[in-house]
Amino acid sequence: MADEEKEADGRQGIQSIEVGVPLLQALADHGAPMMLRDLALRTGMPAAKAHRYLVSLVRTGLVSQEAHSGRYDLGHFALELGLASLARLDAVRAAGPVLDALGEEIGETVALAIWGNMGPTIVRWVESRRPINVNLRTGSVMPLLNSAIGLCFVTFLDSPQLRLRIEEELRINAAGPEKRSPCNRKELDALVAEARQHGMSRAVGSVLPGINAFCAPIFDHEGRMVLAITGLGPAGLFPPAWSGSIPRAIAAAALDVSRRLGWHPPAERQS
């Protein structure tokens, strides 16, 4: 086994394990059983070498081989490892360090929200070095149609309860002497389409006068929205342009957490 050991960052490791892992990664990314030649091509190793590693991976249960086609797929032990890892995940805990880093990067107030019994609910609130004068804190429930957080859930969360609340808020917005936009499905659909186009939602002084906000969705390993990450600040210091550095940083933070939870955007999935 001595020839399989190597130095890396001052620590010894087993090189054969590091060589074999790309085969597992290729199977995970592909999402379906693969032929030996395709696995070899995807990992850049000769077919004979890939076959030797696959034999050992099959013996451990990390890989299985279909008897009728000879194709390889992830095995029962890989599934057990995946389920054990998912059982240890906590979305809010995983997002915590990313949220703190985002606040430092953009220099503005940032927050995390979940879909709770009362609607979009802030579960973490990190103020900037210059706190903004708003009545929002951990536990605050945001309006669906007039906040960046609410619109993010409207756009990216699939929930029967949410759909009922949308109709309720549309009726509230349409009532009274001064209607509040959006007050009908057409106006809301335009906001949702805009959010889908940019992969995040935006509020320009709609909930809090003089305060702008962007909010991006966080997805779990099954592609379900589980959290929203938002940044907000005074309009004079928080430009509303979609192409600005702040919305880009928020989108990158959301993607980072989503990846930690096992999600990959469609563009990264290999067919």
Which CATH number belongs to the domain containing residue 57 in this structure?
Answer: 1.10.10.10
Residues 157, 215: one domain?
yes
Residues 149, 222: one domain?
yes
Answer with the one of 37, 64, 85 that is the final residue of a domain.
85
* Each residue's pLDDT tens digit, 142-162: 999 989 999 999 999 988 888
Residues 22, 95: one domain?
no
Residues 137, 8: one domain?
no
Domain containing 168 equals 91-268
Residues 105, 213: one domain?
yes
- For the chain, the average pLDDT equals 87
H runs (alpha helix) in the chain: 15-30, 36-43, 47-60, 76-87, 91-106, 148-156, 160-174, 185-198, 245-260
pTM greater than 0.75 (yes/no): no
Residues 221, 98: one domain?
yes
Answer with the one of 31, 51, 85 that is the final residue of a domain.
85
* Each residue's pLDDT tens digit, 125-146: 998 887 677 777 888 889 999 8
**Residue 62 pLDDT more than 70?**
yes
Residues 106, 198: one domain?
yes
Answer with the one of 85, 110, 144 that is the final residue of a domain.
85
Distance CA 269, CA 30 (A): 7
Residues 120, 200: one domain?
yes
Total tally of structural domains belonging to the chain? 2
Q: What is the pLDDT of residue 6?
A: 46
* Each residue's pLDDT tens digit, 47-57: 999 999 999 99
